[in-house]
Amino acid sequence: MQVPDHSLESKERSDMKRITTAVVALGAVAAFALAGCSNGSRGDTSGSGSTPSGAGTGTAAASQFPTFAAGATIGVSLPQKTSENWVLAEGLFNTQLTAAGFKPMVNFANNGVSDQQNQIQAMITAGAKVIVVGAIDGSQLGSQLEAAKQAGITIIAYDRLLTNTPDVDMYVAYDNYKVGQLQGQALLDGLKAKKTDGPPWNIELIAGSPDDANSKPFFEGAMSVLQPKIDDGTLKIPSGQKTQQQASTQGWLAKNAQNRMDAILAANYASGTKLDGILSPNDTLARAALTSVKNAGLPNPVITGQDSELESIPLIADGTQYSTINKDTGKFVTQVVDIIKQIQQGQTIQFNDTKSYNNGVKVVPAFLLPPVLVTQANVCTAYDPATSPSASKAALATDYCKSKG
Amino acid sequence: MTVGPVILEMKSITKVFPGVRALDDVTMTVRRGEIHAICGENGAGKSTLMKVLSGVYPHGTYEGTIILDGEDVHFANIRASEHAGVAIIHQELALIPELSVTENLFIGGNEVATRGVIDWVEARRRALDLLARVGLEIDPDTAIKNLGVGQQQLVEIAKALAKDVKILILDEPTSALNEDDAENLLDILRSLRSKGLTSILISHKLNEIAAIADSITIIRDGKTVETLSVDEGTVTEDRMIRGMVGRTLESRFPHHTPHIGEPFFEVRDWVVEHPQIPGRLVAKSSSFYVRRGEIVGFAGLMGAGRTELARSIFGRSYGTWRGGQILIDGVEVTIPTVQAAIAHGIAYVPEDRKTLGLNLLDTIKDTIVSAGIARISRHTVIDLEAADAAAEQYSRAMRIKAASIDVGVATLSGGNQQKVVLSKWMFTEPRLAILDEPTRGIDVGAKYEIYGLINELADQGKGVVMISSELPELLGVCDRIYTVFEGRITGEADARTATQESLMRQMTDTATTNPSTTVTR
Amino acid sequence: MKAIRQIFGGNLRQYGMSFALILLLVFFQWRTHGIMLTATNAQNILNGYSYVLILAIGMLFVIITGQIDLAPGSVAAVVGICVALSIKNWGFPWWAGVLFGLLIGIAIGAWQGAWLAFVGVPGFITTLAGQMLFRGLDQFIGKAASVPVPKEIRYIGNGYLPEWGPNTGLNNSTLLLGVVALVAVVAMELRRRRRVIRAKGTPVPLWAMVARLVGMAIALGYLTYLFGSGRYGTSFPVTGVILVVLVLIYNFIATRTTIGRGVYAVGGNRAAAALTGINTKKIYFLAMANMSFLAAVAAIMYVGRSTATGPSDGVGWELDAIAAVFIGGAAVSGGVGTVVGSLIGGLVMAILNNGMYLVGVGADLSQMIRGLVLLVAVAFDLYNKSQGKPSITGTLLRGLRMRERGEAKGMERPRAGVTQS
């Protein structure tokens, strides 16, 4: 066996040492050089450089929220593109924000919560000054909202409360508890008017998706009107499903409501029991329930709804669906844009509810808009062609409204 | 044998792949009505030449001309060559196991379809007709998977006949057949020849070629070496080997002086049940023993149960073990898993290296160390340097021909692949090596090398069990041969005195008695 | 040309997707007017996608063995709610909650692994069942509530390394990481060279190695700068650190341990692996169990970033992970794939997503583009594999490589899976 030759190895080794030091030094130099080339103090290089304490244009006094320049970017983060109201909102935000001189950045988070998280991040990076958030899940955006706050951005919670975070500045919505109350009262009025073979009346309850914070005020508002009538026997619930949990509809999905209603009808109404009324939190679920009832061969119940969807308006006109709620999206968006304009100019926002909305960390000042109940009685005149053009058109196109002239 | 005028001329065919000249100016002339054999070592270019002829390599991808029936033909694809009357039957049969014979015969449906609708009555009638031409008396509605390999081979030929074939090319047709089926196939070819069909036969089996071919083209390294015509004189196997290999082999088998010691491995009354069919025994109370330095052969027809026995012993990796003992150095051992088998020094080189012996995605190096990886790793972390060293060592010792140990095994020739598999098992330093058909699908030159390696193993004091379907191979290499028939060991013979006939008799004997189970010390 | 090849170390194929990645970065950097490659955005990308990349690592091993796991999203949902509730309702300290979550992940993984390995139910079915089972379990336990998590866990999902020391113009933690990484890379390269020399092979020429090291130094230097020069208080994010550590560990397992070899062996040819003495049941079990374990890790990171659990957590996660693995070069039939490849595949998708947000491509169009990218990337990869050719750059070097290898006598042009008769 040959004696191994080490001389080459030791030369290699010292070569190695030299190379190593050279490379490491080079790398460190590269990092420092780049750092040195940029500005020495580490500001945020993403473009939104405003400081968080109201140093802005014009107003001398400390303003409620940081002011900003006129042509700024405004971010609007909407949930999934699942209902006409949201699609309408997207269009309106784009038009109205542009008209007000801002640069709108409106996104739908079709792929869920992480999509929305990333989109909000992108809006921060793009330098938005205000972000309007229609949350998919209002409790899971905390990190992004924190980052936004640190960049001096004002956060407006739109229609759905942002919970579990201190970093939300205001909540703009239609008064959802009032919506619930209107629905409860409408159900009672409808039963009195149309189901003259009672009291007592049999009703069933439908609630919204358990992960939507708004489902609770809808249900509780309605129950505040209905519960006394249940207690005194005027109203009965044959299926026994009385709690919001039992009545909820995952994802606000029509098929879930229909499946549940099918099961309730089969179990409780198969042998002659009459179903007089259904409390439904919105139009989609109302129509799903109506389909279920029709498939079971039962007569049309008194049913409530919400959102004034184009498909439900003819049903309101001919009385199949007793009521819906108009939360005029146009007025809603206009209100938000007005608020944004006020913030930009440093004016104080007048909130009309600073007590009710505790999001788990703080009480969020709210600006509530009044919802409008729509039944056959006022369907032809309830919709303003200026702010709800398609709803108005749909109503006026029905035979009922045409016959009224 | 009346042989007619020239039907096919392949002139100056050259086919180049990047870096390799697979065919270099090859010329071959085939006469109408003859059986023309092509032989050569692995990699010589036989298959490539046939792929050129059958359109797998279309016109334009090679140089040279093909003249079929006097016409200069340019095949754009396989269909074109089939239209011209050239049908090729590959080594891997192209039949669909789940479908019936009829369905396979008319697989495109074109010959028996009008406007796309198949006439099954007509198809069946024609199927019966074709089957008769190849001497198969079976129900054409039988599913292919229920036929034996020999019968499937004949169905393939029937399929070719259905296409109105002028030249039938058969690639290694008897390699998967037992002696009876092989004989039958050759008879069919003879009868087809007498009806005027021209066949080209690619084969390793020199004895068969010598028995049936009219002329033989020998190809070596992509070049035509010579064409022998059988009626000009007797063509012997040695003559062919010389042409193929370029040298004379004194004998097919290297000389070996056995140094046999004491028995160290013994199996007693081993019983194995079929994995899917309960009650069917594939090994019926088998007993055998192996001595140090001894090469023990296992002879038997296909389906006799040798592989099943071997795999069952090797960690019960086949079927359900139903009884029996293994004794190593006189002490009974339990071997319930493959790992246990390896730990006890047993190695098993499988029959089908591609499906059971190799991970075709691996490199030579990874394969060589794979069975014994525990030796070069500590707490599951592999010592890469030790792996390199071991792989290099075995690669050199086994003379594996490859650019480096980092080459993928899928790119190696059959012989080199087998050497890699052997290396993999030698790396585990076994005491008993069970080799199942170790030279299947390998050319003559590489076979010789492998016999040499087997001899070396024996010389190292290891025991070798060799399962083989080639009786000459068993007689040439082994010291002792057991014969197996239908799961029973029917005989034990000394290789020096046994003959092919005596072995064959025992391989087909139904009245059996087990050989002596007591170990003579 | 030969020089370039030597710098890259010979196997151009695995760099194909990396070039695509760099191309994407350049394209979006241009389209977003420089926002793509800023500290904040880079940090956002890691914070927003590390959990997918970690899932991809687990999914890789499952796919190599020829199986698939459709349940990691549901598993993550269960783990998330268990961690959050154990802290809120049982009063666990945050680290106990994390440990609890990881244990649940391992338990679920063992469950699924057992069905696959010992009962023999194919992975697709086992995990499809698991997807439904554990989604239901999540809803049963959590009742669709949003349960917030404490700040330590939020730090795991969205936190940054501390600031300290002298003012270097960069976050010093990041700088330290960069220097350590550089030293490690150089050391490994030198060790590899020594190993090749000792095995009597021919090492790459010294200058080529130096060139490669210089290239890596510049790249690492740039990355250090990119992550370290953000707003004060930010750095290379914690999620990134966890990701890098896991990549290193699992890459080691894949390439240097017997378990890793076992995974590739079972995936490449299961019957042959069994006859080689590999415990195939153990391998299937481990791969499946590991996936759920990593799903638990991803869950904790995601819930930390989201500050609370939610009923839609984990929905669709498996598809993102599977896409990343296949874009990264794994084969549908198993036996092929690398950790780094999956990482790159995942980064391609992440950068594509992020870029499209920044540019303002709508959600629907963005979804269509992602689907197309997956299809095209895998098709392209298959095409390369079938031709035995590496990437476009590799085509340029093909002639050179063949000549160098000097085909031995009797070897046909290499084509995967085909040998001569």
Tokens of B465: 């069990």
- State the number of CA atoms in the 13 A half-sphere of B13 facing the CB: 30
- Tell me whether 0.90 is exceeded by the ipTM: no
Interval C286-298 mean pLDDT: 97
Residue C11 belongs to some domain of the structure: no
* Percent of chain A residues topping a pLDDT of 90: 52
Residue B250 belongs to some domain of the structure: no
Q: What DSSP string runs through A45-104?
A: TTS----SS---SS--SPPSS----TT-EEEEEE--S-SHHHHHHHHHHHHHHHHTT-EE
Whether residue B406 sits in one domain with residue B277: no
Identify the chains in contact with A, defined as 3+ C-beta pairs within 8 A.
Answer: C
Whether residue C151 sits in one domain with residue C231: no
Whether residue B96 sits in one domain with residue B42: yes
Q: CB under 8 Å to C122, separation ≥6 — which residues?
A: C67, C116
Q: Which residues on chain A are in Cβ contact (under 8 Å) with C237?
A: none
Q: Are A207 and A244 in contact (CB under 8 A)?
A: yes
B265-275 residue pLDDT tens:
999 999 999 88
- The closest alpha carbon to A118, from C222, C315, C352, belongs to C352
Kind plus residue range of the DSSP H or E element containing A106: strand A103-108
Q: How far is B227 from chain C (nearest CA, A)?
A: 21
Whether residue B334 sits in one domain with residue B280: yes
Of C148, C232, C360, the CB nearest to A164: C148
Of B173-177, C118-122, C131-135, where does mean pLDDT reach its minimum? B173-177
Of C200, C275, C414, the CB nearest to B350: C275
Q: How far is C67 from chain B (nearest CA, A)?
A: 17
C189-198 residue pLDDT tens:
888 888 777 7
Measured distance CA(C305)–CA(C296) in Å, rounded:
14
Per-residue model confidence (pLDDT) at position A32: 66
Q: Which of residues 319-338 of B touch C (CB under 8 A)?
A: 337-338
Interval B392-400 mean pLDDT: 88
Whether residue B341 sits in one domain with residue B221: no
- Largest Cα separation within chain B, whole Å, is 77
Interval B236-252 mean pLDDT: 65
> Does the pLDDT value for residue C107 go beyond 70?
yes
CB contact under 8 A, C416 and B388: no
Q: Which residues on chain B are in Cβ contact (under 8 Å) with C415?
A: 411
Relative to beta strand A103-108, strand A73-78 is parallel
Measured distance CA(B114)–CA(A2) in Å, rounded:
81
> Does the pLDDT value for residue C11 go beyond 60?
no
pLDDT band of residue B473 (cuts 50, 70, 90) is: confident
Chains A and C touch (3+ CB pairs under 8 A): yes
Residue B352 belongs to some domain of the structure: no
The residue from C219, C236, C253 where one domain ends is C236
pLDDT band of residue C3 (cuts 50, 70, 90) is: low
Looking at residue B326, which CATH number applies to its domain?
3.40.50.300
Q: Which residues on chain C are in Cβ contact (under 8 Å) with A74?
A: none
> Does the pLDDT value for residue B222 go beyond 80?
no
> Does the pLDDT value for residue A49 go beyond 60?
no
Q: How far is A56 from chain C (nearest CA, A)?
A: 21
Number of domains in chain C: 2
Residue C1 belongs to some domain of the structure: no
> Does the pLDDT value for residue C396 go beyond 50?
no
pTM summary value: 0.76
Residue B253 belongs to some domain of the structure: no
C369 in A contact zone (CB under 8 Å): no
CB contact under 8 A, A112 and C360: no
CA dist A248 to A214, A239, A258, Å? Answer: 12, 14, 12
CA dist C362 to A141, A159, B134, C375, Å? Answer: 20, 22, 67, 20
CA dist C396 to B400, C1, C51, C230, Å? Answer: 30, 8, 37, 40
Per-residue model confidence (pLDDT) at position A7: 52
Residue C131 belongs to some domain of the structure: yes
What one-character DSSP code corresponds to residue A376?
T
B124-181 residue pLDDT tens:
888 998 898 888 888 888 888 888 878 888 888 888 888 778 899 998 888 767 778 8
C338-347 residue pLDDT tens:
999 999 999 9
Per-residue model confidence (pLDDT) at position C413: 32
Whether residue C98 sits in one domain with residue C30: yes
Residue B80 belongs to some domain of the structure: yes
B187-219 residue pLDDT tens:
889 988 888 889 999 886 777 888 888 889 888
Taking phi first (over 0 means left), then psi (-120 to 50 degrees means alpha), and beta for anything else, what does residue C408 get?
A: beta
Give the residue from B312, B380, B384, B435 with the most C CB atoms within 10 Å of its CB, the best one to mutate. Answer: B380
pLDDT band of residue C394 (cuts 50, 70, 90) is: very low
Residue C351 belongs to some domain of the structure: yes
Whether residue C352 sits in one domain with residue C271: yes
Whether residue C51 sits in one domain with residue C22: yes
CA dist A32 to A28, A36, A286, C53, C230, Å? Answer: 6, 6, 64, 30, 14
Q: Which domain holds residue C221?
A: 161-236
Residue C145 belongs to some domain of the structure: yes
Kindly report the average pLDDT of chain A as a whole number.
85
Per-residue model confidence (pLDDT) at position B505: 77
Tell me the one-letter amino acid at B458.
Answer: A
Q: Are A383 and A326 in contact (CB under 8 A)?
A: yes
Residue B11 belongs to some domain of the structure: yes
Interval C245-261 mean pLDDT: 94
> Does the pLDDT value for residue C211 go beyond 90?
no
Interval A152-163 mean pLDDT: 92
Give the residue from C281, C389, C411 with the most B CB atoms within 10 Å of its CB, the best one to mutate. Answer: C411
CB contact under 8 A, A210 and C143: yes
How many other CB atoms sit within 10 Å of the CB of residue B330? Answer: 11
CA dist A137 to A117, B5, C84, Å? Answer: 10, 86, 16
Number of domains in chain B: 3
> Does the pLDDT value for residue B239 go beyond 80?
no
B287-307 residue pLDDT tens:
999 999 999 999 987 678 899
Looking at residue C73, which CATH number applies to its domain?
1.10.3470
Q: Which residues on chain A are in Cβ contact (under 8 Å) with C40?
A: 44-46, 124-125
Whether residue B218 sits in one domain with residue B103: yes
Which residue of chain A has the CA closest to C303? A140
The residue from C211, C236, C261 where one domain ends is C236
CB contact under 8 A, A45 and C38: yes
Residue C56 belongs to some domain of the structure: yes
> Does the pLDDT value for residue B1 go beyond 50?
no
Whether residue C84 sits in one domain with residue C30: yes
Distance of CA A57 to the CA centre of its chain: 32
Q: How far is C90 from chain A (nearest CA, A)?
A: 20
Measured distance CA(C185)–CA(C220) in Å, rounded:
10
Residue B299 DSSP SS3: strand
CB contact under 8 A, C420 and B413: yes
Q: CB under 8 Å to A210, separation ≥6 — which residues?
A: A244, A245, A248, A250, C143, C144, C145, C311
The residue from B368, B401, B428 where one domain ends is B428
Sheet holding A128-133, edge to edge: A103-108, A73-78, A128-133, A154-158, A170-174, A366-369
Residue C303 DSSP SS3: helix
Measured distance CA(B444)–CA(B450) in Å, rounded:
10
Whether residue B284 sits in one domain with residue B222: no
Chains C and B touch (3+ CB pairs under 8 A): yes
Whether residue C287 sits in one domain with residue C173: no
Per-residue model confidence (pLDDT) at position B233: 57
Per-residue model confidence (pLDDT) at position A61: 47
Whether residue C143 sits in one domain with residue C255: yes
CB contact under 8 A, C276 and B41: no
Q: Which residues pair with B288 in a beta bridge?
A: B267
Q: How far is C214 from chain A (nearest CA, A)?
A: 6
Size of interface B-C (CB pairs under 8 A): 152
- The closest alpha carbon to B205, from B228, B232, B172, B181, belongs to B172
Whether residue B122 sits in one domain with residue B65: yes
Identify the chains in contact with B, defined as 3+ C-beta pairs within 8 A.
Answer: C
Kindly report the average pLDDT of chain C as a whole number.
84
CA dist C15 to A40, C336, C340, C387, C393, Å? Answer: 36, 15, 10, 17, 10
CB contact under 8 A, C358 and A360: no
Residue C133 belongs to some domain of the structure: yes
> Does the pLDDT value for residue B57 go beyond 50?
yes
Which residue of chain C has the CA closest to A18? C210
Domains with residue ranges and CATH for chain A = 73-175+329-370 (3.40.50.2300), 176-321+373-404 (3.40.50.2300)
C53-83 residue pLDDT tens:
999 999 999 999 999 999 999 999 999 999 9
Q: Which residues on chain A are in Cβ contact (under 8 Å) with C307?
A: 139-143, 164-165
Whether residue C230 sits in one domain with residue C124: no
Of B171, B357, B417, the CB nearest to C421: B171
pLDDT band of residue A44 (cuts 50, 70, 90) is: very low
* Percent of chain C residues topping a pLDDT of 90: 53
Residue B350 belongs to some domain of the structure: no
For the ranges A2-11, A350-359, C283-292, the one whose mean pLDDT is highest: C283-292
Give the residue from C36, C146, C191, C318 with the most A CB atoms within 10 Å of its CB, the best one to mutate. Answer: C146
CB contact under 8 A, C275 and B382: no
Tokens of C219: 């790249």
Tokens of C395: 């085509």
Residue B181 belongs to some domain of the structure: yes
Interval C264-272 mean pLDDT: 92
Whether residue C296 sits in one domain with residue C265: yes
Measured distance CA(B185)–CA(B173) in Å, rounded:
8
Q: Which domain holds residue B61?
A: 6-245
Whether residue B122 sits in one domain with residue B48: yes
Relative to beta strand A73-78, strand A128-133 is parallel
* Percent of chain B residues topping a pLDDT of 70: 91
B317-350 residue pLDDT tens:
998 999 999 999 999 999 999 999 999 999 999 9
The residue from C236, C256, C280 where one domain ends is C236
Of A15, A118, A138, the CB nearest to C357: A118
pLDDT band of residue C10 (cuts 50, 70, 90) is: very low
CA angle C270, C276, C282 (to 5 degrees): 60
Residue B47 belongs to some domain of the structure: yes
Whether residue B297 sits in one domain with residue B212: no
Per-residue model confidence (pLDDT) at position A205: 96
Tell me the one-letter amino acid at C268.
Answer: G
Whether residue C212 sits in one domain with residue C124: no
- The closest alpha carbon to A58, from A50, A49, A68, A48, belongs to A68
Whether residue C227 sits in one domain with residue C268: no
Chains A and B touch (3+ CB pairs under 8 A): no
pLDDT band of residue B80 (cuts 50, 70, 90) is: confident
Measured distance CA(B42)–CA(B246) in Å, rounded:
14
Whether residue B235 sits in one domain with residue B99: yes
Q: Which residues on chain C are in Cβ contact (under 8 Å) with A105?
A: 360
Give the residue from C312, C317, C361 with the most A CB atoms within 10 Å of its CB, the best one to mutate. Answer: C312
What one-character DSSP code corresponds to residue C375?
H
Whether residue B68 sits in one domain with residue B124: yes
> Does the pLDDT value for residue C12 go beyond 70?
no
Per-residue model confidence (pLDDT) at position C289: 97
Residue B385 DSSP SS3: helix
Whether residue C180 sits in one domain with residue C137: no
CB contact under 8 A, C265 and B41: no
A52-86 residue pLDDT tens:
333 444 444 457 888 888 889 999 999 988 776 78
Interval B42-62 mean pLDDT: 82
* Percent of chain C residues topping a pLDDT of 70: 86
Query: Interhelix angle for C206-228 vs A7-37, to 10°?
Result: 30
Q: Which residues on chain B are in Cβ contact (under 8 Å) with C416?
A: 360-361, 408, 410
Measured distance CA(A65)–CA(A72) in Å, rounded:
15
The residue from B245, B280, B302 where one domain ends is B245
> Does the pLDDT value for residue A102 go beyond 80?
yes
Per-residue model confidence (pLDDT) at position C5: 60
How many other CB atoms sit within 10 Å of the CB of residue A162? Answer: 28
CB contact under 8 A, C362 and A141: no
Of C179, C206, C316, the CB nearest to A112: C316
Residue C266 belongs to some domain of the structure: yes
Per-residue model confidence (pLDDT) at position B251: 67
The residue from B428, B455, B489 where one domain ends is B428
